[in-house]
Amino acid sequence: MSSGPKKTMNRQAAVAGRFYPGTEKRLREEVRELFVNAKPPLRPGEVPRALIVPHAGYVFSGGVAASAFSQISGTVSPERVFVIASSHRYHFPGAALFMSGNYETPLGEVAVDRDTCRQLTEQNPLFTAREEAHLDEHSLEVQLPFLQEKLTPSFLLVPIILGTQKPAECKSLADTLRPFFTPGNLFVISSDLSHYPSYEDAVKTDRITTEAILANSPPHLLAVLEENRKQKTEGLATSLCGWTSVLTLLNITTGMEVDYAWVDYRNSGDEPMYGDRDRVVGYSAVAVFGKEESSFSLSEEEKAELLKIAEQSILKKVITGERILPEELPQEGRLSEPAGAFVSIYISGKLRGCIGSFNSGDPLAKVVNQAAFSAAQDHRFNPPETDELENMILEISVLTPLKRIHSPEEIIMGKHGIYIKSGFSSGTFLPQVAQKYGWNREEFLGRCSRDKAGLGWEGWKTAELFTYEAIVFKNKK
């Protein structure tokens, strides 16, 4: 005889009244107020592919969480939301799914996509139905009221609690989840940052950890977490409590055409009433978007042609003192289109000139020709001599259009160059400069503001900030 359909059993709200208000009215009011004060969308009208969101009590991390969820600004809601959180209570292989019913909060039920959960268990034995891992776990539950307020009620939840502490298992879980990482789905990764260092140490460590996440490289994140541990910062118990969940996301997105962006940051010491600055917990919000299509690209043949133009321009300047005339340059194709560019000259590995300009309306070939000619007489360096030219390496950086930003957290280190402008003063650093010298974001901005724009170390704080990207290539010797 058939036993009939299995009776569903919802996962009841476990931390309502503790991590967030316990009644529908108060919870809805608080979430809406947090959204009002949240950071605006970095890409208005777009739905991110993934969010990394803190999971502490709303009084501490609710503002940062709201800034993360405020990035969902498109008109089309995700069909399903995968919330991935690392267990605070249990260690077990792989990941636990809740499949016996729906999730509940004071704002109502959140429908669990049991079909997708079942599919995951069938595709990978590391996914199991393990309800007990969900029952008292706060890190997944606290994300739901924001989703309930932000999305239409019809979204489906795929609730995943990770019990593993093994990077290889995170990779296996990611391989199974990757086909679901599509524009129609949203991934929410639940994690706080540093636990229990001083306020100042938290700010420093959390910046390092967040920048490692933005690099979208699992090995790099693991190396940074290990280096954080080796620093033996007083009070630091962990620099990323949900590291397995974040690592799983990075394994999903490695090699994908996505952009990671830092949205917001604070720590528990910023809470004026309850914050203790001697022992804090850090919170970052990170959004992952589909990569914006570049309006400008270059073929290998076009790069070679630009390098040839730059080299000939420098040779003519050094040997004869003359310029290559514009009419001698390509008059059609991509090189005839307007774009900005910088030319850097290296002799025996040392920088001997670097000049360029942003998009002035001139054809790219002309900009490179002029930049190379000027770089050969850059007053900051000794100009190249004829007998040095055989050891010359040229690096060309073709620039995308400037994009105005309103927060330094929008700068992705290693990807973005910066342009700082205040009145008639301005300065720029190419994206590769920060990587070459190992600067963090503060050093990148401070040095550009002081050394390039002449505005002082903190002058960027009241200046206009812009980012751009660069297509960077060199000749081979």
Query: Is 323 found in the same domain as 268?
Result: no
Sheet holding 392-399, edge to edge: 350-357, 340-347, 392-399, 470-474
Of 395, 424, 450, at which residue does a domain stop?
395
Query: Is 178 found in the same domain as 58?
Result: yes
Helix or strand (DSSP H, E) at 356: strand 350-357
> Is-contact 153 105, C-beta < 8 A?
no
Question: Rounded CA gap, 196 and 281, in Å?
Answer: 6
Q: Among 441, 303, 317, 439, which Cα is nearest to 385's?
A: 317
Query: Is 381 found in the same domain as 237?
Result: no
Q: Rounded to 5 degrees, what are φ and ψ at 449?
A: -65, -45
What is the CATH classification number for the domain harbouring 66? Answer: 3.40.830.10
pLDDT one digit per residue (tens) for the chain, 477 residues: 344 445 579 999 999 999 999 999 999 999 999 999 999 998 888 899 999 999 999 999 999 999 999 999 877 789 999 999 999 999 999 999 999 999 999 999 999 999 999 999 999 999 999 999 999 999 999 999 999 999 988 899 999 999 999 999 999 999 999 999 999 999 999 999 999 999 999 999 999 999 999 989 999 999 999 999 999 999 999 999 999 999 999 999 998 989 899 999 999 999 988 888 999 999 999 999 997 655 568 899 999 999 999 999 999 999 999 988 877 788 788 898 888 999 999 998 899 999 998 876 789 999 999 999 999 999 999 999 999 998 899 999 999 888 888 888 788 887 899 999 999 899 999 988 887 787 888 999 999 999 999 999 999 999 999 998 889 999 976
One-letter amino acid at 211 equals E
Q: Is 232 helix (H, G, I), strand (E, B) or coil?
A: coil
Report yes or no on 1 lying in a domain: no
Report yes or no on 14 lying in a domain: no
Query: Is 369 found in the same domain as 281?
Result: no
> Is-contact 193 283, C-beta < 8 A?
yes
Question: Rounded CA gap, 212 and 221, in Å?
Answer: 5
Q: Is 331 helix (H, G, I), strand (E, B) or coil?
A: coil
Query: Is 419 found in the same domain as 466?
Result: yes
Question: Rounded CA gap, 408 and 464, in Å?
Answer: 11
What is the CATH classification number for the domain harbouring 441? Answer: 3.30.1490.150
> Is-contact 112 98, C-beta < 8 A?
yes
Report yes or no on 4 lying in a domain: no
Query: Is 213 found in the same domain as 82?
Result: yes
Report yes or no on 6 lying in a domain: no
Query: Is 318 found in the same domain as 231?
Result: no
Its sign, for the CA torsion 60, 109, 289, 191, is: positive
Query: Is 148 found in the same domain as 82?
Result: yes
DSSP β-ladder status, 50-53 and 185-190? parallel
Of 271, 290, 309, at which residue does a domain stop?
290
> Is-contact 441 387, C-beta < 8 A?
no
How far is CA 31 from its chain centroid? 25
Query: Is 100 found in the same domain as 30?
Result: yes
What is the CATH classification number for the domain harbouring 363? Answer: 3.30.700.20
Query: Is 408 found in the same domain as 375?
Result: no
How far is CA 90 from its chain centroid? 30
Structural domain that includes position 372: 300-395
Report yes or no on 154 lying in a domain: yes
Report yes or no on 387 lying in a domain: yes
Query: Is 357 found in the same domain as 211?
Result: no
**Per-residue tokens: 64:** 């940062």
Indicate the number of domains in the chain. Answer: 3
